[in-house]
Structure 1
Amino acid sequence: MCGIAGLILSSGAPPPDPATVSRLIETLRHRGPDGSGHAVVGRVALAQNRLAIIDLVTGDQPLFAGPATLVANGEIYNDRDLRAGMPDTAFATGSDCESPLHLWLREGSAYAETLRGMYAIAIHERAQRTVTLSRDPFGIKPLYVAQVAGGLAFASEAQALLESGLVPRSVRPAAREELLQLQFTTGAETIFEGIQRVLPGETLTCADGNVLDRRRIHALPGGPPEQIDEATALARLDRALMESVELHQRSDVPYGMFLSGGVDSATLIALMARLNEEPVLAFTAGFDVPEAADEREHAETVAKAVGARHERIEVTEAMVWRHLPEIVAAMDDPAADYAIIPTWFLARRARQDVKVVLSGEGGDEIFAGYPRYASAMRPWWRGGRAMWARGSFDKVQVLRTRPTAWRDGIAATEARASESGLSRLGMAQAVDIAEWLPNDLLLKLDRCLMAHAVEGRTPFLDRGIVDAAFRLPDGLKLRDGMGKYILRKWLEQALPVARPFAPKQGFTVPIGTWIKASGARLGPLVAAQAGVAEIAHPDRVEALFRDIRRWRHGFACWKLLFYALWHERHVLGRRPAGDVFETLSAR
């Protein structure tokens, strides 16, 4: 896991400025504190900060082979198979990122179709003066591009392009509406004017400061549900789960996992316990609010059942107010998901023992775990409704202008999913996998873990598991209103103490409770912040913070607080000046 960046300038532009390359490297240093490297040839610069996970001795980047140079952020889990398929190739390192370089030399821009892993890759071909940029099909690893003076720039984080002065700090209003209403933004365009995401699965061919070609690998198979019985599906799923977790454990440094009270993480710890001779190291977070759902006791039961070493942390109100400016600052591409709070603290604790963590992101999307899927399958006259149909501020009247176009990105993705031949349930899953997963859940995991130089791995987002599970009959995913049926059945057999068919407790961060306790103090600070004052009536914001009566009021307050802190850091360019109150008071 690393941070990469670079410049692809036109032939008429000056060569890459060394100071700019240095700023790109420095801005991404938190992603790779184990070393850095760069290569500048003509009008192209590639840079990388390394978090050493595989081949600690010879795996430094850039990597070179013939006329090509590579920098990469990620893990290629089928590296051993790829090497075996190129017996005539003389590999210079043991790095899993060297096999994509040789594949590219053989296959050109189609090389990524063979990769199994999470990655953002840049390859410079010096003779033809092209740069190939690729991102994995689920978007586990981020990659951003921007048209800048003289050509193109790219980076693992949008903030690298801002901090280096390559792109001005300007908010795109349509994306801001999405952020407030949905809590994340959709599609290729980010919230920053002029910065785009390389979409999941995209490979871009660039030259002379421009994008010349785009091709895309889709994460999901198309077509209707397959015909398969439950016993056969379970046996196939067992093989796929074992293979994926075994691949995701490949590491030359210590690894652990995040354990909640849910089905996904219980599945992972059961598999890891099978595959490891030493006790699995598991981390669980809880909160200091008595009425908040607390998963620590159930997680402890599951951990004991498999002989795991279990580390529990408690996230307190004081911790949140002290560190929230840092947490939000990590979310340069913003996702106002309150789960960033425990994720950040878990990563901080995990870094004391490990550099790699396996996590359950993707389980709900691949196996249809969300309650909203049951609703999406029902026709409107039976109480069904479209996903993401309501925005957070629909009934909270504090904004100066009523958001109107905030659902356009979701609607466009729904339209594309409807042409895929999937079932109604499959279409709902596909929409989440295209938007919610990369632009909220995986973004949260990447930024919160990389803030502490921890690599997050997601075994459910693996080609083998997708092939085994996504096109299962709807009845093996959703049964009697309960999602993830087939995964629950597997876990019931593998680890019954996990109680996979028990009613889901739900995971809720008590941010509304914390805000309510400090609302009178927070309200004026949030209302006066420049970004919030631009979009909301200050008096109404203060009133909302003073009088939180319902869950939606607390959630709206959270989003406004998030946006205030995010705007301070990434639009105004001010670094956190202490805790939440000190940061918002510093003008």
Structure 2
Amino acid sequence: EGDASAYVFASELKALVGHVDPSTVVALPPGHYWTPETGMVCYYNPDWLRKDDYAPWDEEGHHVTDDEIRDAFSKAVKKRMMADVDYGFFLSGGVDSCIVAHDLLPFYREERRAAFGDDRPIPTFTVGMENSPDVMAAKGMVEALGGSKNVNHHVRSFTPEEVFDLIPKIVYHMETYEAELIRSAIPNWLLAERAAQDVKMVLTGEGADELFAGYLYFSHAETSRQVQDELRRIYGMLGNINLHRTDRMTMAHGLEARVPFLDTEFTRLVMSVDPARKMVDEKAVATNSRGREKTLLRELFEGPNSDGHSIPRPVLWRAKAMQCEGVGEDWVSILQRKIASLVTDAEMDDAHVTYPINTP
């Protein structure tokens, strides 16, 4: 107290309220550490992220095989299974989470037999309105993995009406009021809340879109260099968007989330693949065929896992859906109408006066 050179650290902004001048608060970026002697130091800045001209695929003899990528991913999954607590898996029904489940299950069963001598099914968790696309796809994946014999699947259903009351809690834990981020955090909150009743750690499918050009707008890229540059850009934003949402919503319930797709070695390997293999064809997107977004990733996992289970083709080649669409379209429009009814036109006209910073 009274020491002008003192530094205060916290994992959440709310812990600093009343202790520091808000204008002096600085976020520690991903891949950095800080000491009084050195200041901010970057310890993770690989060539593919740092160099604008990074292009090993143009070098003679450089070739990343599909087997190398699959092997690196299996190692990434297995590495994240090390735990002394019960764990499970967020099975959203999207291709990314289904791929993790596809690789995870054989390792899990092997681990259970070795450690406990049993075949207890792995807990999986899905969130969505009844019969929503995510819920139906996840159920299809569960059946493909052997059904209840191998998977103890839980669906957290919800109604549009119940999510409105969650918004203050979510803003509190997210520490942001960015509308899209808050809206997408609602399903994450419900999912984490349900999973925390049974497990202490979960694996998730986050990160694949940022490595394999999974967003539909990649169909507008005219060159492979544009694809690579955009992947680098959105990878750099993960800590403020997808990973921020996942971490805050799980830790709000005492749940740890682990992300195999963002393993550093797997990431290095995938980002050294010729980005031409990640190009997206607009016509293929419309027909759910090869050449659509994440074709490279989908083709890598078309075959069976070591237990003989394959991802169902309708799931593997399922169209990309935004999270809010996948869990059920109706709840978003109902939420929007509810919020619109609470804010008058006059209040919106005066928003710049009421909220001079980050005016809505």
TM-score range, shorter chain: 0.7 to 0.9
> What is the aligned counterpart of 2:211 among 363, 366, 375?
366
Contact 2:164–2:335, Cα closer than 8 Å, also in 1: no
Superposition deviation, residue 220 in structure 1: 5.7
Q: Which of 335, 353, 360 is equivalent to 1:515?
A: 335
| TM-score after normalising by structure 1 | 0.50
Where does 1:200-215 land on structure 2 (aligned, <5 Å)?
A: 200-207=30-37, 212=39, 214-215=41-42
Does 2:315 match 1:470?
no
1:448 is aligned to 2:249: yes
Q: Are 1:315 and 2:135 counterparts?
A: no
Aligned partner of 1:306 among 145, 168, 188: 145
8 Å contact kept, 2:64–2:273 = no
Q: 1:195 and 2:39 equivalent? A: no
Aligned ranges 1:74-89 → 2 under 5 Å? none
Provide the C-alpha distance between the structure 1 equivalents of 2:94 and 2:43, rounded to a whole number of angstroms.
33
Higher share of residues assigned strand: 1
Q: Specify whether residues 213 and 261 from structure 1 end up closer, same or farther in structure 2 by C-alpha distance, changes over 3 A only.
A: closer
Superposition deviation, residue 240 in structure 1: 0.6
Could you say which residue in structure 1 is the equivalent of 2:84?
A: 252
Pairing of 1:263-274 with structure 2 (within 5 A): 263-274=95-106
Q: Which has the higher contact order (CA 8 A, sep 6+)?
A: 2
Are the aligned partners of 1:234 and 1:486 in contact in 2 as well (CA < 8 Å)? no
Q: Which amino acid aligns with 2:301?
A: L
CA deviations 1:313-342 (Å, max 9, x no partner) are 112122212222111111115543121000
Distance 2:318 2:160 in 1: 30
* Alpha-carbon contact 1:335-1:440 (below 8 Å) kept: no
Contact 2:124–2:153 (CA under 8 A) maintained in structure 1: yes
User: Which deviations, in whole Å up to 9, do the C-alpha atoms of 1:238-287 show, x marking residues without a partner?
Assistant: 11111000001110001111112211101110011121114221111112
Greater Cα offset, 509-518 or 447-456: 509-518
Residues 1:483 and 2:296 aligned together = no
For residues 58-112 of structure 1, give each alpha carbon's deviation from its aligned partner in whole angstroms, at most 9, with x where no partner exists. xxxxxxxxxxxxxxxxxxxxxxxxxxxxxxxxxxxxxxxxxxxxxxxxxxxxxxx
Q: CA deviation at 1:516?
A: 4.4
Instruction: Give the match for residue 433 of structure 1.
Output: 235
Give the match's secondary structure for 1:488.
helix
Residue correspondence of structure 1 range 82-481 to structure 2 within 5 A: 149-162=4-17, 165-168=18-21, 193-207=23-37, 212=39, 214-219=41-46, 221=48, 222=51, 223-226=54-57, 233-277=65-109, 278-287=120-129, 294-307=133-146, 308-336=151-179, 337=181, 338-375=183-220, 377-378=221-222, 423-435=225-237, 437-481=238-282
Name stretches of at least 5 consecutive residues in structure 2 with no aligned partner.
110-119, 283-291, 305-309
Counterpart Cα distance in 2 of 1:438 and 1:344: 18
Q: How many residues are matched?
A: 318
- Pairwise CA RMSD: 3.1
- After TM superposition, the structure 1 = structure 2 runs for residues 489-508 of structure 1, keeping only pairs within 5 Å, are 489-494=299-304, 495-499=310-314, 500-508=316-324
Deviations 1:279-310 (A, max 9, x none): 2211111126x8xx531011101012113221
How far residue 166 of structure 1 moved from its aligned partner, in angstroms, is 1.6
Give the share of equivalent positions with the same residue, in percent: 27
Of Structure 1 and Structure 2, the greater helix share is in 2
Q: 1:326 to 1:519 in 2, by over 3 A?
A: closer
SS, match of residue 369 in structure 1: coil
CA distance in 2 between counterparts of 1:200 and 1:426 reads: 20
Displacement, 1:233?
A: 2.3
User: Structure 1 CA distance, aligned partners of 2:215 and 2:256?
Assistant: 26
Give ranges in structure 1 of 5+ residues lacking alignment. Answer: 1-8, 15-148, 170-192, 380-421, 537-558, 564-587
State the alpha-carbon separation in 1 of the partners of residues 354 and 108 from structure 2.
Answer: 54
